[in-house]
Amino acid sequence: MIVRMNRALLTAVACLVAGSASSAYADTVLYSTGFENPPFTPGPVAGQDGWAAYGNSSASQIEDTVADSGSQALAVIPALGAGQTGAYYGLTTSDSLIEITADLMIDSSTNQSEWQFAGMGPGLFPFVGGFDVTSTGQIDLMTAGKPDVGTLTYNTWNLVDLLFNFTTQTYNLSINGTVLASNAAFCGDNTVCAGAPVSSFGNFIFDAFPASSANDIGFIDNLTISTPSGSTTPEPGSLMLLGSGLLLLAARRWRSVFARNNV
């Protein structure tokens, strides 16, 4: 009887270990794109897959010469714009946690523009949070005081991660796996970031403020907007450790019983 029980335990634990890899913190993807064809084709992004343009629509293009993966990416070309220009995607949701990840590259130039990478509320108001890249490459956080939190490396792809918490009205920023800001207060407006409450997420925007005779270009690829879930679910590593420990314990008990029965 004891041997049969341990065998049953071994089977159950083996199933736990085998299934633990699928018990990861599963994000619910709300929108994800690599800007590939389909549905995107080279040319203005406005009108493609729900995207819209801010400023001159010809300045925000799907192009097929520079990409982090695949063959296409979204490019914003300041020289074709007048004033603030760029592309945005509207996605209204009531989820309390919103994460935005994307690969970002800004080319250096002799006339460097300023750039924005941010989340906004419905109707492009207000700014939830994000960052500006100044003409000297400084990363200014979109929160009260607009603090400098780092420097963007030009001419290379950078992995950007923004995590917005609408319950705490704060957000985190990481670039290339390095945390640049934690629990920064939401911007709350479109000017000085006075921190007014933001009820929900509504838009992602990537845009530029063209410098005089601007000749730089910004690219984004592999954009994902998701809502992290499973906050009460154990991490796969914890489950694997638990399962492995139980498996070892069961195996030892089985060997002990087997030895006694064969004395």
Per-residue pLDDT of the chain (263 residues; tens, 9 = 90+): 333 334 444 344 444 433 443 334 579 999 999 999 999 999 999 999 999 999 999 999 999 999 999 999 999 999 998 899 999 999 999 999 999 999 999 999 999 999 999 999 999 999 999 999 999 999 999 999 999 999 999 999 999 999 999 999 999 999 999 999 999 999 999 999 999 999 999 999 999 999 998 999 999 999 999 999 854 333 444 444 444 444 444 444 444 443 444 44
Q: How far apart are CA 227 and CA 138, in angstroms?
A: 29
Task: Note the pLDDT of residue 223.
Answer: 98
CB 94 within 8 A of CB 200: yes
Amino acid at position 196, single letter: A
**What CATH topology corresponds to 28-227?**
Jelly Rolls (2.60.120)
User: Tokens 């007014």 correspond to what residue?
Assistant: 196
CB 158 within 8 A of CB 220: no
The phi, psi pair for 6, rounded to 5°, reads -65, -35
Q: Give the start-end residues of each E strand in the chain.
A: 28-33, 43-44, 51-54, 60-63, 73-76, 85-93, 97-106, 114-120, 127-133, 138-141, 148-151, 158-165, 170-175, 178-185, 201-209, 218-227
Task: Note the pLDDT of residue 229.
Answer: 82
Task: Note the pLDDT of residue 23.
Answer: 35
Closest listed residue to residue 77, CA positions, set 32, 111, 40, 36: 111
- Residue 144: HSE in the Cβ half-sphere, 13 Å Cα cutoff: 8
CB 14 within 8 A of CB 244: no
Q: Quote the pTM value.
A: 0.79
- Peptide bond before residue 122 is cis, with ω within 30 degrees of 0: no
